[in-house]
Structure 1
Amino acid sequence: MEQLHGPPQLQRLSCHGIGASCADCALNSAQWILCIIPADRTTAHAITVRSSARPYQHLSVSAPFIAVVPAWARVKLVNDDDPCGLVVALHWARLRETARNALGTTACEIPCWFKAWDPFLRDAGDTLSALHANSSPDPRCLAAFADVFALHLAHRYGLTADTPDAATSLTHSKLSVVEHFIHEHIADNIQIADLAAVVHMSQSHFARAFKTATGHPPHFFLTTERLRLAQSMLSEGSLSLIDIAARVGFQTQQHFTAVFHRYAGCTPRAFRIAHYRP
């Protein structure tokens, strides 16, 4: 995607394709942050540029997640032969000013170095890309999008800018968000770190909070959700076992059969014979 520019007094946002190099050196300064929105199978790694003043940090992000990192971080792609996605650069000071004016001083700090499941920002990125794919950007449109990004980032993440684990427990609403994510992406290779990112927690804190809230570790819950869906498919449909295994997130039919037998006490084939309802 072509670099987007506007007059200096209005330029709060700039964006380019995830595989394109940014020609504006000013966007690499501490005055900007990057919202990385990978698409398809593109995976981006954001890494701290080695410096005595900065601790080493590393973050990997792929769809359906987004990441927010400082603009001076180095972003590398795994499959850079055909990268898909968007990088949105946002002016740090103007983001904070917009958030402070709209939300108050307690919510104006916007954190960096985090990964999150954020369908709203993914949709906003898609809209921004489509609007400016084949035309010159309107500076007023860019300013409006900058305000949208600023308010969303501050409202959703700003109150926990200093500590993403400020919440000591998983509320019912947060558990519902986790369950929704699992059901929507059940066929994907979901990691516990992904579930933690959904509710903006560290992996260790999320695992403890999840077990406290449900009585089971997150991996057990994820596995039982996969098997519950598999049992429904076995009872009501005629899909092959290998197709069912893929649709509920198992890499191979053999692994699916082994896990199913361990939890259900019989093989998927035996379960289908006993429970099939055409």
Structure 2
Amino acid sequence: MSQTTSSTPDRGLRCKPMNVAFTDRGWTVPGFQLLVPTGPTVVHAAGCDDMGLCHSVLIGAPFTAVIPTWATLLTIADSDPSGWVIALKPGVLGPVSQEAFCAVPKWSTSWDPFLREAVDTLGALHNADLIDAACADAFADVISAHIILRYGHCAGVAEPARPLTRQMLTRIRVFVHEHIAETILVEQLAVLVHMSASNFARAFKAATGNPPHLYVTLERVKFARTMLCEETIPLVEVAARAGFQTQQHFTDVFHRYSGATPRAFRLAHQNVGS
């Protein structure tokens, strides 16, 4: 990406590769930014607005997200994030578009083929060293206008409902099993099946009868039961391996869904085995 000069301070600043944006977070003009992760990169964006309300979104391909330029960005288990961060500055647009820009949903995510195609083209030009500041600005202008026209007046429109297929449920189950010892967010599961968190939660409950967070909790309890039955590792380690933050939390949740404390469950199983 071309370096800026003092005579044209805004040139080349509106589009940055994601790994560059993570080390150089200064945008010169307040506004919004478009997060476009590629490959396996998943980004967590968070921050509090002027009213003191806290916001948080988790975004991964093929989704994109529109967030304020001041938001804090972190990657989920990815030391070399790939993708693009594009500043959306209303000042580059005409008066009508600038007015519409104020209605763009903040902290919103979308599955938008046009945006993905535009960013794929931008990435190809960047990799071929064919992009300069003016070209990057042109992409930012086109993308800004597209977001305003498509989303500027539909902040309250809900996403169309989509059912979860058997393949999607298998993908979720495998992910939960592989990450059972870690914190698992509903947003992470939603990204796996290319859905928003709210739509995913509704679709998951419709498909399984349980909300996602309860499913994860029951899987943790099931995994803990297996360890209590088959191994003699300390209870505190059983709790950690099953993803419970504290021993007390493990005991409370296990008792709630198993009818016995972990220690009593282990003793009962040992008595049955003997």
TM-score normalised according to structure 1 size: 0.53
CA shift for structure 1 position 47: 1.0
Q: In structure 1, what is the Cα distance between the partners aligned to 2:129 and 2:86?
A: 17
Residue 88 of structure 1 corresponds to which residue in structure 2?
A: 86
User: Which of residues 90, 96, 100 in structure 2 aligns to 1:100?
Assistant: 96
Residue 129 of structure 1 corresponds to which residue in structure 2?
A: 123
For the pair 1:148 / 2:142, whether they are aligned, the reply is yes
Contact 2:40/2:60 (CA < 8 Å) preserved in 1? Answer: yes
For the pair 1:64 / 2:62, whether they are aligned, the reply is yes
The one-letter code sitting in structure 2 at the alignment partner of 1:85 is: G
Residues paired across the two proteins, number: 193
Q: In structure 2, what is the Cα distance between the partners aligned to 1:153 and 1:60?
A: 19
Deviates more, 1:121-130 or 1:143-152: 143-152
Q: In structure 2, what is the Cα distance between the partners aligned to 1:73 and 1:48?
A: 5
Give CA deviations for 1:22-65 in whole Å, capped at 9, x if unaligned: 536334x5x2321111122211100106x775321111111221
Go from structure 1 to structure 2 and tell me whether the alpha carbon gap of 1:52 and 1:125 turns closer, same or farther (over 3 Å shift). Answer: closer
For the pair 1:34 / 2:33, whether they are aligned, the reply is yes
Residue 259 of structure 2 corresponds to which residue in structure 1?
A: none
Tell me, what secondary structure is at the counterpart of 2:207?
helix
Go from structure 1 to structure 2 and tell me whether the alpha carbon gap of 1:58 and 1:4 turns closer, same or farther (over 3 Å shift). Answer: farther
TM-score normalised according to structure 2 size: 0.54
How does 1:143-222 map onto structure 2 within 5 Å?
143-161=137-155, 164=156, 166=157, 174=160, 178=162, 188-189=171-172, 194=190, 203=198, 207=202, 218-219=206-207
CA shift for structure 1 position 71: 0.8
Go from structure 1 to structure 2 and tell me whether the alpha carbon gap of 1:205 and 1:186 turns closer, same or farther (over 3 Å shift). Answer: closer
Unpaired stretches in structure 2, ≥5 consecutive residues: 174-185, 210-274
Contact 1:4/1:16 (CA < 8 Å) preserved in 2? Answer: no
The one-letter code sitting in structure 2 at the alignment partner of 1:25 is: G
CA shift for structure 1 position 156: 1.9
CA shift for structure 1 position 113: 0.5
RMSD: 4.3
Tell me, what secondary structure is at the counterpart of 1:131?
helix
Unpaired stretches in structure 1, ≥5 consecutive residues: 211-215, 222-278
**Among the aligned pairs, what percent are the same residue?**
26
Q: In structure 1, what is the Cα distance between the partners aligned to 2:99 and 2:115?
A: 23
Tell me, what secondary structure is at the counterpart of 1:36?
strand
